[in-house]
Structure 1
Amino acid sequence: MRYRTIGTGSAARRVSAICLGALPFGSTVDEETSFAILDRFVAAGGSFVDTANNYAFWVPGFQGGESETVLGRWRADRGVGDEVTIATKLGALPRTPGGGLEDAEGLSADAVRSAAERSRERLGMERLDVLYTHIEDRSVPLEETLGALADEVAGGRVGLLGASNHAVWRLERARALSAARGRPGYEVLQYRYSYLQPRVDVPFPEKGHVHAGPELLDYVRSENAAGGGPALVVYTALLAGAYSNPAKTLSEPYDHPGTGRRLAALRDVAKEADATPNQVVLSWLLDGDPPVIPLVGVSSTAQLDEVLASVDLTLTPDQRHRLDEAR
């Protein structure tokens, strides 16, 4: 396993370069299988697990909180402590059963305090290692949200703060506000990103997903060059199995000529490297500029083993160039 450091100061964490996504645990992946996947991940050196308080409210029969609950049971059953970093998110849990993101709890001070407390209870943690604001809430002053998050850190209830799916200008405004008041700011960012690049003028069918475009990547790259910049975690890294299953239909944002050219380059490099397309994509992400932490969800230990093998794959400069230049 390879490792990265996220955050700064006393709250900084050394985490595995692959983050295990726990989104389906407790809903589409049962508890026994979830435990087996988590055990295999940790045995391989994995130490970074991602969840959210709203996973997976959209699955029929579930209301959100199931993933955190299963992780809490696993932690208690296995005696897991600080050696595994758990990241969770708040703000996007529907307030009423059956609701959607239009009914999200939001990011008011009261919502932040209440949601963070419930996440700690489900996870069985006195302090959340990483807490993201899952979506924007422009109905609430940014200062109010940041103040509530800073209070959670000051009270020892949260370690690192993160933001997911925010506009870049909102990230910069948040950074400036936090810095001006001497408060902790967002040190981990989470966005959708993969090898295939979507059209910017077509929305994703998955409501709420925000792609890490050139501006966001440039922002992260520049902040990191200045020292102490944010870590970037990327979700939907494997496009829900589309790289391994040619018959799988990609969503409309990927319906453009560049997709075919990139897939052809990917297949060629995978054959040369004696690797799967998934492994090549993950290697491309791990050693990119800026380097990112792929967040990968699996539903079996076999799928996890394929993901873990990507850590040992190093693409040649020529292979990376060909992948980059296919557009």
Structure 2
Amino acid sequence: MKRTELGRTGTTVSQVALGCMLMGTYTDQPTSYRMLDAFLGAGGDFLDTANCYSWWHAGSAGGESEELLGRWMADRGTRDDVFLATKVGGIVTDVPAALVDGRADWDVASKLFEGTGADVVRRGVDASLRRLGTDHVDLYYVHVDDPATPLEETLEALDGIVRAGKARHIGWSNVRTWRLERIRQLADRHGWTAPVAVQQQHSYLRPAPRTDRAGIAGPELLDYLTAHDDLSLVAYSPILQGIYDDPDRRAAHRMWSAYSGPDSEARLAVVGKVAADLGVTGNQVALAWLLHQRTPAVVPIVGTRTWEQFEAFRPALDVELGAEHLASLEAAGA
């Protein structure tokens, strides 16, 4: 697996991160261990989790993913072999209220997040370190940008965590471009630790013009990150839960409304043609396209629930998109 620099930190990570959100809940321990072992064996080291994963699973309160990773690192002795990222701010303070018929109601949940006040951030990192069984994480994200808390309060707390050696780097997720610029200005003004990574939803399909979601990387953010290469774009949902190969899955995807339209239909058609030309799947083409991006460069997070899904992603690492295929993919759209 190829490697890429995280921002301009001098630290390199694997070109793909393994999303561990479902480990310990939807994915059992033996399967999780098998995927983690295989990812490490293939040269991967970037592991992505959060303190809230997965509160929406029946009987879960969050933290199971971190606990499983802690057990795996202890059992395998792999802490020094991985680049470990976790997050704070996504815990839901009233889980029953955020569940409807056993499923997460994200509109309700978004009003119940724990926020990023200084005490939440400080307690959060200590709790994550206990679950992970380590004295530091490599990257500590604000999971959900919190406009109700002064940025100065959050940044000062994060800076204290880095100075205490509990995190090496910080990042931000689900954030608007103007807020990101404000964060960077405040960090520079006060001499606080600045983010080196931004985690947003990003895929080959472009959000529809009417879409206004803080968590989706739109043209403005992509331009901003191209101009500021000290920030890495870490892309979650890079294949949008596998919609490139499955129209039924596409129609059922809760986020499809953010993408549906003539532009996406045109781009899906080209993905299908390229996939047929190369003898691969549409999902693999979409992931390979992200790995070819340089403006900005992208580190996709591949979240796999089953071993079969894990095996399906691996061939994308070897898909070589030639100039003609890249040009057709770039030009596609309405």
What interval of TM-score do these two structures reach, taking the shorter chain for normalisation? over 0.9
2:4 maps to what in 1?
A: 4
Alignment check: 8 A CA contact 2:243 2:283 kept = no
Displacement of 1:200 in angstroms is 4.1
Paired residue for 1:261, among 266, 270, 275?
A: 266
Q: How does 1:100-249 map to 2 (within 5 A)?
A: 100-202=109-211, 210-224=215-229, 229-248=230-249, 249=251
- The equivalent of 1:312 in structure 2 is 318
Compute the TM-score of the two structures, normalised by the length of structure 2.
Answer: 0.91
> TM-score, with normalisation over the residues of structure 1?
0.93
Specify every segment of 5 or more residues in structure 2 that has no aligned partner in the other structure, as ranges: 99-108
Q: Is the 8 A contact 1:109 1:145 kept in 2?
A: yes
Note the 1:75-90 alignment, pairs <5 A. Answer: 75-90=73-88
Match of 1:252 in 2: 257
Give CA deviations for 1:139-180 in whole Å, capped at 9, x if unaligned.
111001000000000011111100000111111111011111
Distance in 1 separating the partners of 2:329 and 2:263: 12
What amino acid is aligned across from residue 322 of structure 2 in structure 1?
T
Tell me the residue number matched to 1:21. 19
Q: Secondary structure at the match of 1:82?
A: helix
Provide the aligned length of Structure 1 versus Structure 2.
317
Equivalent residue letter for 2:193: P
Q: Would you say 1:303 and 2:309 are equivalent positions? A: yes
Instruction: Tell me if structure 1 keeps the 8 A contact 2:122–2:161.
Output: yes
The C-alpha deviation readout for 1:122-155, integer Å capped at 9, x for no partner, is: 1111011100001111111100100000000001
Q: 2:327 pairs with 307, 321, 324, which one?
A: 321
The residue type equivalent to 2:47 in the other structure is V
Runs of 4+ in 1 over 4 A off after TM superposition: none
Secondary structure of 1:247 counterpart: helix
2:4 aligned partner, one-letter code: R
**Letter aligned with residue 82 of structure 1:** D
Residue deviations 1:266-288 (CA, integer Å, cap 9, x gap)? 01111112222111111110111
Amino acid at match of 1:50: D
Where does residue 34 of structure 2 map in the other structure? 36
Local SS of the residue matching 1:36: helix
Q: Is the 8 A contact 1:41 1:304 kept in 2?
A: no
Contact 2:89 2:144 in 1 (8 A): yes
User: 8 Å contact 1:7–1:160 — kept in the other structure?
Assistant: no
Deviations 1:35-57 (A, max 9, x none): 11111111111101101111111
Give the secondary-structure state (helix, strand or coil) at the position aligned to 1:242: helix
2: CA distance between counterparts of 1:232 and 1:125?
A: 26
1:47-83 deviation line (CA, Å, top 9, x unaligned): 0110111111122221111111111111111111221
Question: Partner of 2:290 in structure 1?
Answer: 285
Query: Displacement of 1:203 after TM fit?
Result: 5.8
Q: Distance in 2 between matches of 1:7 and 1:267?
A: 33
Is this contact kept in 2: 1:18–1:48, CA < 8 A? yes
Amino acid at match of 2:234: V
